[in-house]
Amino acid sequence: DAGITQSPRHKVTETGTPVTLRCHQTENHRYMYWYRQDPGHGLRLIHYSYGVKDTDKGEVSDGYSVSRSKTEDFLLTLESATSSQTSVYFCAISEDIAGGRNTQYFGPGTRLTVL
Amino acid sequence: AQTVTQSQPEMSVQEAETVTLSCTYDTSESDYYLFWYKQPPSRQMILVIRQEAYKQQNATENRFSVNFQKAAKSFSLKISDSQLGDAAMYFCAYIRNAGNMLTFGGGTRLMVKP
C-alpha cells in the first residue's frame, strides 16, 4: 500500500468555522491531489499539486484552498465551512515517471461533517 | 468533457462464480488510461487494475481481468472465483495521458452471496 495518511480521519465542525485537512506521504511522489466523494458519486477533483508551492484548481475548487510547503505534506483548507462541504475527502498521490504519473493511489479518507 | 458511465448500480454474484461489471466512457483523446478501483465498507479506495489505451492486450491481475474495447469505448471488469471479500463498491475511472484529474463513474455495488 502507498504510504499515505490523512488527518483527522473524522471531524465535525460548525458552519462558518475554518477547517484544515492534512495529507502526508512517505513515497516522495511529486504529484498530490485532493478529491471529495459525495453519496452515490465517484470522486471529484478539488485541487492538485505538481510540486512544492505549485498548485492548481480542479473541477470543484470553489470554497477551498490548498498549500504545499514540503514534498510530503498537502493541506486542504475550508476557509469558512458550509453544509455543502459535508463530504468524504480523499488525498491521492502519483509518481513523476512515464506512465506512473497517470496512476493515483489514495489515502484512507477523512469524513467531514459541517453542522 | 470526458464522461464515465456505469449502468449497473448493483450486481450480485454467488461465491466462487464469475461476474462482469460494465463501464463505458466518452473521450476525444486517443492516449489515456482506464482503471477499476474497489471501495469496501472501510472506505479505502483500492486500485484493482489498470489499462493503457495504447495496449491492445487486456490487463489481468490474478482473479481480475478487463475486456477493453477501444472502438466501442467499453471497459468491463471480470471477477472470477468471486470471494466474500470482493463485496464492495467498484468504480471505473478515466484519465488522459499526463492529465491530472481522474473522472469517475457513479459506481457499482457488488454483493457476494455465500
pLDDT band at A102; cut points 50, 70, 90:
confident
What cell does B61 get? 491481475
Specify whether the CB–CB gap between B34 and B24 falls below 8 A.
no
| Tens-place pLDDT, residues A13-43 | 999 999 999 999 999 999 999 999 998 677 9
pLDDT at A74: 98
Specify whether the CB–CB gap between B36 and B91 falls below 8 A.
yes
Q: How many Å apart are CA A64 and CA B54, to the nearest integer?
A: 36
* DSSP letter assigned to residue A11: E
Query: Chain A residue with minimal CA distance to B95?
Result: A102
Q: Looking at residues A55-67, what average pLDDT do you find?
A: 95
Residue A88, C-beta contacts closer than 8 angstroms, at least 6 positions apart: A36, A37, A38, A109, A110, A111, A112, B43
All residues of chain A having their beta carbon less than 8 Å from the beta carbon of residue B88 are none
* Residue B92: HSE in the Cβ half-sphere, 13 Å Cα cutoff: 29
Q: Could you say which of B33, B47, B107 has the minimum Cβ distance to residue A42?
A: B107
What are the beta bridge partners of residue A94? A31
pLDDT at A96: 78
Provide the mean pLDDT of chain A. Answer: 93
pLDDT band at A99; cut points 50, 70, 90:
low
Q: Looking at residues A93-106, what average pLDDT do you find?
A: 83
